[in-house]
Amino acid sequence: MDRVRTDRMMVTGGVSVVASADTMMVVTVMSTTQSVSW
């Protein structure tokens, strides 16, 4: 049970890290595009 719980937490943490990284990349690209278009 403990190992399954740890694996699930690791998977959730990995997904959160990837999602936040993607969000940061999108925000950076959007802000860069805005400054260039202006």
Q: How many residues does the chain have?
A: 38
Statement: the pTM of the whole predicted model exceeds 0.85: no
Average pLDDT over residues 12-27: 86
How far is it, in rounded angstroms, from Cα 20 to Cα 27? 10
Within 1-38, residue ranges assigned H as helices are 2-37
Q: In this structure, is the dihedral angle defined by the CA atoms of residues 9, 11, 13 and 15, taken in order, positive or negative?
A: negative
Average pLDDT over residues 12-35: 87
